[in-house]
Structures are given as structure tokens and as C-alpha cells.
Structure 1
Amino acid sequence: MLNVRRTTGGLRAATLIAMALGVLLAGVPASAAPQPDSDTDNGWAGHGAAHGRTGARAAAAAQPTGYPINGIDVSSHDHAGSKTVNWAAQRAGGDEFAFVKATEGTSYVNPYFDQDYHGAKDAGLYTGAYAYGRPDLGDPAGQANHFVNQMQWSTDGRTLPPFLDMEWPYASLNLPACYGLSQAAMRSWISSFLAQVKTRIGTTPMLYTNVNWWNPCTGNSAAFGQYPLDISSCNSAPPSVPGWGANWTFWQYEIDACERGATRDYDVFNGTLADLAALAGGGSVVPLSVVGGQAVVHEGYTSVFTVNAADGHVQETYLARLGGAWVTQDL
């Protein structure tokens, strides 16, 4: 999976881990469950029927130490009761990134997606979209296509890879914890969705989940480790997840279901700000051996790495796929 880190020594060099495409598996039959037709309890990252809502609320958890790059994820829930998200204030408060729910199923679109997606980007945050997975509705490729059609994917250097949100069904669906699918059918559905997104945008998407859902519903599957992981956990540290171990990329460490008084879903990134920028750039493999002027073809652009003679830093000169201009930056 992708867990980007910088190495330090005589110079700072970029080390990004390759993101491989999983095997495309057959989809599963669609069920008769209805498509969501309103924005009421329509699901958002970190929430679902299995989350408890009882007990006294304490203070919201502080940002975990050792992970200074923080952000939030939002959905229509963040607009309940005429609430809004003040993205300029979020940026001024230190947020570096945001994820916004875009779709669910093959027809629902978050009515606040465009507002929040562009609000976050305009405020200077690295921004990504996510889809709430509905395996009970079948048609994983159709749900993936609907997601890609709505999520406004861009190779602008500010767009984070999108993620598929796999968790407990929200209560109003009255569905079993695993959407009524067998473990094999669930693995097939997830694979097909992710593969279709990869085919459409040319960048490896991410997976969001929690171990209390993932392990029983996929059979502790370790088959998805090539996809970056966004792990949700109220624990003091994220749990080990089959296929990833502790190599997560984002950690959603605080949600209201943690019952600590959180008013939003809070996240941290497992890396530096330069790593986050690289992830938004769509890079794939950048081994240390490229230092010295060799060209490297990424998923979204081409880079040449050289050593700055003046200060010893690695410099990246890249040609954006949609830009056409060479840009140089220190890493």
C-alpha cells in the first residue's frame, strides 16, 4: 500500500511506494434495496448502524502526537440544521486536507458536494472525494462510474486520490452488517469497484474502513494492500489491518461515534506535507536511484530529479500532463 515517507541523510530524497492494480473480479447481483432518495441519515465516513450512541460524552480527542498533518472529512451531515463548513477558518486553524462525500449507489449525489469540494480547494486544502459503498445494490462498476462522473477528478496537483467508504450500513437501511453478502462476494464487489475507478482515472484509489467491519465482512482479507488505507479507529493508535498491518495512509481518529464530543470527523496523514503533496500529484514509484537526472514517468506526469549543487537538496522538475509547463521544486 502507499505509506509515503521522506528519507533523510546527506540530502532529502523522495521515496514513494508503487501502487498496483488489483485483479478485476466479477460483480455481484443487485438486490431489491431502494436507492437513497433523500439526504436524511445518508451515511458518512465513520458512521453506521454498529456504532454506539450511549454513555457520557467526554472531551473530544486531541490530535495524535507524531502526526502533524491534519484535516477533516465531511458529508451532508455537516450541513444538518442549516450548518455550513467555514473552509477558510478550517485552513486558518491548520487543516491541510479534506475529503468530501460525493456519491452513494448509482444515483445519489451529495447536494453539498460541489460547495464543499470547491470551498476546500479554494481555501488551499488538498482535497479528495469519496463514495459510500452500497454492495447491497450490486453493480460495483456502475457505482464506480457514477462516482467518477460526479467527483470532478483533476490532475491539478491539489486533488487527493478518491476513496471507497466500506463500513456498517446506516440504521435506516435495515440491512445486515455485511449488506447481506458473503465474504467472497464482498471481496469481489470491492475489487470490481476499485478496479473500475482505477481504469477511469488512471490513479489508484484508496479504501476507507474499520476493522470491526472489515474483518468479519471480508474474512480478514489481506488482498487489498496495494490500495492506500484510510483507517477509522477511536483507539489511541490504529489497529493492525490484514494486508496493511500498521501501514495506513490516513487515520480518522475522531468522530461523534467515539462519544468524546466531536463535532466533525477528524483525520491525520501518515507522512509529511511534502508527502501529502506527492500523493496529490499522483506519483507512483520514485526510488532513490532516480537522483542524478533520470526521467521518471508517473501516473499523471513526468519528473526529472537532480541534486541542487548549492544546498544538496533533491530538486524535482516535472511536466504536468495537463499543464505543459515544466516546474521545479525542492523536495
Structure 2
Amino acid sequence: MPMRRPLPVRSPRHPLAAGILLLALSIPLTLLFTLPARAAGTPVRGSAYMGMGVLAHDGRGGTPLSAAATRTEGVDVSGYQGNVAWSTLWNSGVRWAYTKATEGTYYTNPYFAQQYNGSYNVGMIRGAYHFATPNTTSGAAQADYFVDHGGGWSRDGRTLPGVLDIEWNPYGAACYGKSTSGMTGWIADFLNTYRARTGRDAVIYTATSWWTQCTGDYAGFASAHPLWIARYAADPGALPGGWGYYTMWQYTSSGPTVGDHDRFNGALDRVRALANG
């Protein structure tokens, strides 16, 4: 029986096709399935938290004096802290807490229930906050999203009004690409919608330097909205336009148990008064 000759291996007829084939064979398979990486240093959407930009933009200017009897210790927490040891915080003297509920209209805190209900269950007065991203959706849309995902209010004597956390953009330009008038309009949109949904005026959390830069030191919200000032220093320093006093002060990001510690500008009965409206 005659032996068959092996069939010849045919090369691509077109020289360009041959070049593409050789190039594909030279690329490691791992590279063919690698997705583009995020820009170095850019955090993941949803990972922002209260005071995220304070150290980078305001720095740390000293240690606060010991808490006076007329100030009440509190904490603020978010998803990156996971399950919080609330009994430890209670035993250390913490009496109120705020938990991040939402960010933009795309993120809800997966640990919200443990953090929000856990603080309440040990006896604390608690509330929820929203991390604003004014360049993604409208103020009204974000207020609705916040209320619908844990940011509401109830007259039970232990639920604080919601907080609008408005500060440096961790994902891009500090003022989210908005003019000062555009920013104040966005904030007003959020605040008006929150009040319409809950009957309460939201607290505003911010830092004086950001407020001056991004709102032009606008003074029009001070008469109705309590101020939560962020400054890691020996005192709260100068306040944003219109506010003659602060209601809360975030004074450190390196306190015991959870890091972010705050002081209410009054005794515990004043915390209850804010909760009661």
C-alpha cells in the first residue's frame, strides 16, 4: 500500500493576516483577558466616607482639649469599618453615632443595619448620613435615594435628622466641576427635597476651607440647618459663612475603636432635643 505524504501546513495567503497571527501568538494569554486598571490613587466608587479629604486638604493642627461637661462624645462610621463594637464604644462614653447610608444614587452601605441598629441597641442616639456626589445626579434625586435607603427620620426621641456630607470629591475635581452658584443650587435642591420627605431640616457636614472654595462661603443655609464642622485640630477654628456656632465637630480620624470621633456642642439633653426636632 503506497504511503501518504503529509499534507503541507498552509500559511495565510495575505501577508497582513500572517503578521496578525504572529502578533497574537506572541502575547501572553493573561494579557488578553486583563481589564484596564483604574487610575493610580483613585478610590473605588462608593468607598468615600465622612472626612475623607480633611487630612489631605486641611491637615492636622493639634489635639483637642479634654471634653468639657457640656460636650457629648459621638462617632461616625461607614462600610469600610465593617461590624462595629458598639458596646465597647458605649462603655468608653460615646452616646451618639452617625452611620453612612448612601452615596450618590449608586451605593448603599452593606453594613448599615449592623451599624445603625447596633448603635441604637446599646442605647445611643443615632442617625444616618449621605455622601454627596453633585456631579452624578441631582440634589433631589440623591435626597430621595438617601431617604429610601435608611436616611429617613422618626419621632422616637433617639433618631437624629439626616446629614448631607458635602466635602472634597475623592474621585476628581474638588468642587465636582461646579461653579459656586451651581454648587449652592445643588445643595438647596437636596435640602429642600429632604425636608419635603421627612419634615426635618438636614444637618450639613463640611469643612470651612472646602465651603469657602466651592460655595463662595455662602451663608444662606445657616439659619435652618445645623452645622457639623470637620477640623482635626485643637479647636474648630473659623466657621463657614452664616454660622455663629457649630452643633457637632468631627475632631479626629484616629480616635479609639473606630477612628472618627466627634463632639456635640452641648450636653446629652441637647442631643435628645435635636433628635426630637
TM-score range, shorter chain: 0.7 to 0.9
Distance 1:276 1:49, change over 3 A: closer
Output the CA distance in 2 between the equivalents of 1:49 and 1:136. Answer: 20
Output the CA distance in 2 between the equivalents of 1:58 and 1:176. Answer: 24
Does the 8 A contact of 2:54 with 2:231 survive in 1? no
Distance 1:49 1:95, change over 3 A: closer
Percent sequence identity is 38
Deviation string, structure 1 residues 106-126 (Cα, Å, up to 9, x no partner):
121011111100000011100
Larger strand proportion of the pair:
1
Deviation string, structure 1 residues 171-226 (Cα, Å, up to 9, x no partner):
xxx41110010000000000110110011000111100001211010001111102
Matches within 5 A, 1:236-255: 236-255=234-253
Partner SS state of residue 115, structure 1? helix
Asked if 1:74 is matched to 2:77, the reply is yes
* TM-superposed deviation, 1:253: 0.5
Does the 8 A contact of 2:164 with 2:204 survive in 1? yes
Distance 1:275 1:115, change over 3 A: same
Distance 1:61 1:240, change over 3 A: closer
Would you identify which runs of 4 or more consecutive aligned residues in structure 1 move more than 4 Å? 38-41, 57-63, 260-263
Output the CA distance in 2 between the equivalents of 1:189 and 1:103. Answer: 17
Deviation string, structure 1 residues 214-243 (Cα, Å, up to 9, x no partner):
101000111110200000001211122234
Partner SS state of residue 51, structure 1? helix
- What residue in structure 1 maps to residue 98 of structure 2? 99
Distance 1:212 1:53, change over 3 A: closer
Tell me the C-alpha RMSD between the 2 structures: 2.6
Asked if 1:166 is matched to 2:163, the reply is no
* TM-superposed deviation, 1:138: 3.0
Asked if 1:227 is matched to 2:230, the reply is no
Give TM-score scaled by structure 1 length: 0.65
Distance 1:78 1:278, change over 3 A: same
> How many equivalent residue pairs?
233
Deviation string, structure 1 residues 283-303 (Cα, Å, up to 9, x no partner):
xxxxxxxxxxxxxxxxxxxxx
Does the 8 A contact of 2:62 with 2:233 survive in 1? no
Output the CA distance in 1 between the equivalents of 2:215 and 2:265. Answer: 25
Q: Say which one has the larger Rg.
A: 2
Distance 1:262 1:214, change over 3 A: farther
Output the CA distance in 2 between the equivalents of 1:176 and 1:78. Answer: 26
- What residue in structure 1 maps to residue 275 of structure 2? 280
- What residue in structure 1 maps to residue 109 of structure 2? 110
Output the CA distance in 2 between the equivalents of 1:58 and 1:120. Answer: 30
Amino acid of the structure 2 residue aligned with 1:272: A
- What residue in structure 2 maps to residue 266 of structure 1? 261
* TM-superposed deviation, 1:263: 5.1
* TM-superposed deviation, 1:58: 11
Distance 1:199 1:52, change over 3 A: closer
2:48 to 43, 49, 53: 43
Larger helix proportion of the pair:
2
Distance 1:49 1:136, change over 3 A: farther
Gaps of 5+ in 2: 1-42
Distance 1:92 1:219, change over 3 A: same
Distance 1:155 1:164, change over 3 A: same
Distance 1:67 1:49, change over 3 A: closer
Does the 8 A contact of 2:64 with 2:233 survive in 1? no
* TM-superposed deviation, 1:77: 2.1
**Using CA pairs below 8 Å that are at least 6 residues apart, which structure has the higher relative contact order?**
1
Give TM-score scaled by structure 2 length: 0.77
Amino acid of the structure 1 residue aligned with 2:138: D
Does the 8 A contact of 2:227 with 2:247 survive in 1? yes
Does the 8 A contact of 1:39 with 1:110 survive in 2? no
Output the CA distance in 2 between the equivalents of 1:265 and 1:41. Answer: 18
Gaps of 5+ in 1: 1-37, 283-331
